[in-house]
Amino acid sequence: MNSPKIAGPQLDLFAQPSSTQDPFQRILHAPPAPAAKPVPPQPLFKAPPSPPRINFPSPPRTPDDPPLRRIVLGHYAVDYELKRSARRSIGFMIDDDGLHVTAPRRAILPDIDNAIRAKQRWILTKLHERGERRAKRAESAPLVWEDGARLPYLGAEIVLRLKPAARSHCVFDAETRELRVGVTPGLTEWQIKELVKIWFQAEAKRLFTERLDFYAPQLGVRYSALTLSSAGTRWGSCTIGGSIRLNWRLVHYALPLLDYVVVHELAHLREMNHSPRFWAVVGSVYADYDGARLELRRRSHEMPVLFTD
């Protein structure tokens, strides 16, 4: 075992004494060890570290927009956009651009922040889901728009067939499950994508109309209009007047998931809320709405992005 080191001159008790100096004299006259440096006083309380600004998206701004507000939620600092409106309550929306808060014009800022904190678990969960969704999109290889490419349609896949033609067209063969696109000379990839997107949107409108007409009588309601939506965060919406908007990208998913969204929006014609009464209406014709809701959320994270708008 090594002997501990001692500050200052060392005495080797086993060394031969010098003929000119007594070893004990050397001990008596050894220079003192250097004084230890004073330790600065430590604060009694250390300031907590600033919450991390993790990679949550921030709503885009223009020079005329008011600055974003920031709030600390647990261990995170979150930027959000605040808008005022004539509504009576504070509402929240999360999309690919981050958190948006809409509040009554008379609501004071402390009350708005308290309302956000009351929803912090939901807000952080949604922001994390958005982050995971963006990461998966970035990691997944983009679709190559070529003959033989596979496209998601009603929970399965169809094959894209590109054939030279005198005029551009897009026709689906249900027997072979091929989407045949006529490619004219000079047709660009962007134009091919537009043809396919228009076909998907037409299919979505046809299916939505068919499913709305099937479920509306079962719920005892009537809708007044159907429009397609391409919103990034909402699968559907419904107005008091009976106008229903459905996201056309639902055509990529299996029919039971599409039906769930249709029933959900039709049920709002009886209950414009998400109360137990509302879910009882949904459950009267679609029993496994909880399973469909979870599956739609899971599948939406896995679905490749074919079109950016």
Query: Could you give the angle at the alpha carbon of 65 between the alpha carbons of 62 and 67, nearest 5°?
Result: 105
Look over the chain and give the mean of its residue pLDDT values, rounded to a whole number: 80
Q: Which domains does the chain have, with CATH numbers?
A: 69-139 (no CATH), 150-302 (3.30.2010.10)
CA distance 86 to 89: 9
Q: Left if phi > 0, otherwise alpha if psi is -120 to 50, otherwise beta: which for 177?
A: left
In the numeric block, which tokens belong to residue 101? Answer: 């808060």
pLDDT tens digit sequence for 177-221? 999 999 999 888 889 999 999 999 999 999 999 999 999 999 999
Task: Find the range with the poorest average confidence among 35-44, 108-117, 120-129.
Answer: 35-44
Mean pLDDT in residue range 216-240: 89
With H, G, I as helix, E, B as strand and everything else as coil, classify residue 280: helix
**What is residue 195's predicted lDDT score, i.e. its pLDDT?**
93
pLDDT tens digit sequence for 268-306? 999 998 889 999 999 999 999 888 988 887 777 666 667
% of the chain residues with pLDDT over 90: 44
CA distance 133 to 211: 29
CA distance 197 to 203: 10
**What is residue 61's predicted lDDT score, i.e. its pLDDT?**
55
In the numeric block, which tokens belong to residue 61? Answer: 């701004």
**What is residue 74's predicted lDDT score, i.e. its pLDDT?**
84
Instruction: Decide: 73 and 123 in contact? Cβ < 8 Å.
Output: yes
CA distance 117 to 242: 34
Q: Structure pTM?
A: 0.59
